[in-house]
Amino acid sequence: MALDYVSTSKKIVDAVGGAGNIVSATNCMTRLRLVLSDEAKADDDAVKKIKGVKSVIKQGGQYQVVIGNEVSNLMKEFNKLGNFSEDAAPAAGKKPEGNPVQRLFGFVAGCLTPLLPAMLGTGMVKVLLTLLTTTKVMSSTSPTYTFLFSMADAFFYFLPIMLGWSIAKKTNHSVPMYMVIGALLVYPDLVTILGGAVEGVTYGTFLGQNCAYMFGFLPVVCASYSSSVLPMLLMTPVMGWAEDFADRVSPNVLKAFLKPMIFFLICTPVVLVVLGPLGTILGQVLAAITTFLYGNFPWLTVGLLSAAMPFIVMTGMHYALMPLFYSNLATFGYDVVILVTMFCSNIAQGGAAFGVAAKTKDEETRSEGIACGISATVAGVTEPAMYGINLRFMKPMIAAVCGAGISGLLAGLTSVKGFTMGGSPCFTSIITFIGVDPASTITNPYHGVIWGTICGILSLAISFVLTFILFNDKDAGLAGEVNTDAIDAAHAALAGQEHEKKAIAAPVEIDSPMTGKLVPMKDVPDEVFASGALGEGIAILPTDGKVVAPCDGAVAQTMDTRHAIGIVADNGVEILIHVGLDTVELHGTPFKYHVKADQEVKKGDLLLTADLDAVKQAGKQLYTPVIVTNSDDYTEITPVDGAEITAGQKLMTVK
């Protein structure tokens, strides 16, 4: 049965603490990636029980809800339930979770994940061109080939620019300025100078490498930064500091041009003299390690990584290995660490799921096993198989690890290599193994496809057979055939139950946080607010930018973009004040907080100020919803009648 995206989205929002608790929401290929203001408000067990949810993972400051293939469709409905930012930066005042290594990997994964669609699409075009030229259908010298290859290679060549965009989005900084630093690294004249053969340019040596000189004395090591990721990742803290510093020292009247100028003057020498060369060196070190391990122990390297890959995927850290993947492609022209090991592992996960489907007598589990097996082996999406079947029953996971490890050993022994990324590794991506390594004695471009297919079949067969031997319904706690009529009846009964609202001891009065005109919530030109999806309340068209506390309580939620604030009253009423519509896109510029998260406040205390003229000049509307986000806990929420209101006057009554 197809997933009900609307219902599932609403249940997830409720289970993670409501829309007001979600700072940002994005998705990758299989996961809904949320940053929550307070993860303590999220009920992990309740989220896991929602139909369509495979698992919950907390990693790198993100609350990841594993959905599977349908996550992109779910995200469309999920975004309608709140004004969620796509910037996955932690909430203000929130302490990052996990150890430094986990946070680092989480950050790298968060920066590279948004680039995957472009990478997969262009990678598949390269695969298609390789296939066409190998079969002599198209000549590599034809204009058509050049046009298509230029498009496909553009993503990889200009990767530093793409990475500048994703880093800026993730860290909530200036996208254009970060992209300029990425563009600098692949600018044609710079590439020519760092090629080391420009007449009239004085070259020298630095640490044994050729270099040119900036300002006549700063050595700029000759290196190529196309297709690189490490220099931009290393520049992240420098660019963040430089932008904040430039913002502080630039007078408001000059900030429009002085701030970016200072930023560029700081970042340019740092990236060219220090961190760019350092990233190149680190990339060379990673490549050397790969060369050593694969050159001396190919069977062991690929075998062990294939067996370990499911557990790497579980933590979401497979995306954090992408720098190594890019380094291998740029250095060698091929990769085995990601493409081959994930190929063996993904198919093994599907084989184990098929094994459960073949062995079980439980009708629902059989259906799930077949669907999960197809997803893993045909689409390369393994989370449904891992969480929905294999890890759930454990023995299938053991079988999958064995199948992946053994097939990985064979792949290493037979020199199976991937020459481009073309979708998540699986049987349908086998053509990415077409190619020739110039340093190898193997000249047949289909060698990888032939042996890759054999390895894939071996992985599928071993995991299937071992699962069929090890798994049984009794150990898995499955009784046999499922009474679907009883389940449908139970679902219908649950669907008919309404949320029980409880009246509080005495009515609670909430005062207005701003001065302005009153607007019924249904008249707010934003579907999410007007529909009441976030809760009941009323909106204000403010005439003054001061926002004061509407009650005694504590600051429950602040945001990096400073456009909204959440208050929990002493009596438990949760209030969200959202200044303007779509003002999250202003990245905090017109707003200033005067309190911090968890701070106790009294009615009338100044919470934040907004430059209303700046908001209007940015093209945003000033409608300011004031919402009781836990409206379902009360029997009645009654806004006051009237056309205008002053801050501190009664705005609504909660009963």
The residues annotated as belonging to the active site are: 28, 578
Answer whether 375's CB lies under 8 Å from 67's CB: no
Compute the C-alpha angle 328/323/214, nearest 5°. 95
Q: In what order do the strands lie in the sheet with 536-542?
A: 600-601, 553-557, 564-569, 574-578, 624-628, 536-542, 516-520, 644-645
Enclosing H/E stretch for 106: helix 100-112
Strand 22-27 versus strand 209-214 pairing type = unpaired
- The amino acid occupying position 93 is G
**Distance between CA atoms of 408 and 163, rounded to whole angstroms?**
31
Answer whether 524's CB lies under 8 Å from 533's CB: no
Is 162 strand, coil or helix? Answer: helix
**Distance between CA atoms of 317 and 177, rounded to whole angstroms?**
28
DSSP 502: -
Compute the C-alpha angle 456/116/89, nearest 5°. 130
| The residue to which tokens 């690929």 are assigned | 302
**Distance between CA atoms of 636 and 6, rounded to whole angstroms?**
25
| The residue to which tokens 């996990």 are assigned | 98
Beta strands in 389-436 (DSSP E): none
CB atoms within 10 A of CB 353: 32
CB atoms within 10 A of CB 12: 24
